[in-house]
């Protein structure tokens, strides 16, 4: 218990408050082709949270998203939506010569998952999301993918 200025005991916080922090995730390719690591910030306001991350695998990318937590206790189920993107090199043949061009693929993601509250500074999360990408025609990348993620959120 905390003791207030007027010597009245007060119970400690219950952990239902969600604060901002650093977010680290592993994004797994749903078709088993590999994974990407992500590092960024989670900015929380009540049950809403904005995520901004840099993603790295054999391509560099990023993610900007919004998460809504349905509950805010130990079990924190959530739904999320966001915009993933990645930069990649694509080789095409022009006049019988290989030409490499750098392209940007932008997508849309919707997901549902569960975050588990460990303590006021640490939680773990896992979700499954569907992503659709534009600007990947004629490349080795799929336009539609299922992407599960697992991650750790370190809070201030």
DSSP letter string over 31-92? TSS-EEEEEEEEEEETTEEEEEEEEESSSEEEEEEEEEES--SSEEEEEEEEEEEEEEEEEE
1, pLDDT greater than 80: no
Q: Give the tens place of pLDDT for each residue, 50-101.
A: 999 999 988 899 999 999 999 988 999 999 999 999 999 888 888 888 888 8
Residue 66 confidence (pLDDT): 97
Decide if 38 contacts 30 (C-beta within 8 A).
no
Q: How far apart are CA 118 and CA 68, in angstroms?
A: 19
Higher-confidence residue of 129 and 27: namely: 129
Mean pLDDT of 20-33: 81
Q: What is the mean pLDDT of the chain?
A: 86
Q: Give the tens place of pLDDT for each residue, 27-57.
A: 887 667 778 899 999 999 989 999 999 999 8
């Amino acid at each position: 218990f905390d003791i207030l200025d007027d010597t009245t005991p007060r119970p400690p916080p219950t952990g239902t408050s969600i604060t901002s922090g650093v977010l680290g995730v592993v994004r797994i390719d749903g078709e088993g082709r590999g994974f990407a690591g992500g590092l960024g910030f989670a900015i929380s306001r009540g049950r809403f949270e904005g995520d901004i991350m840099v993603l790295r695998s054999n391509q560099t990318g990023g993610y900007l998203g919004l998460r809504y937590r349905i509950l805010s206790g130990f079990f924190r189920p959530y739904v999320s939506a966001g915009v993933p993107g990645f930069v990649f090199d694509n080789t095409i043949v022009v006049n019988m010569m290989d030409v490499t061009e750098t392209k940007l693929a932008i997508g849309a993601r919707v997901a549902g998952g569960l975050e588990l509250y460990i303590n006021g500074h640490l939680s773990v999360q896992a979700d499954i999301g569907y992503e659709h990408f534009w600007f990947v025609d004629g490349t080795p990348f799929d336009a539609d993918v299922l992407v599960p993620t697992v991650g750790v959120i370190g809070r201030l």
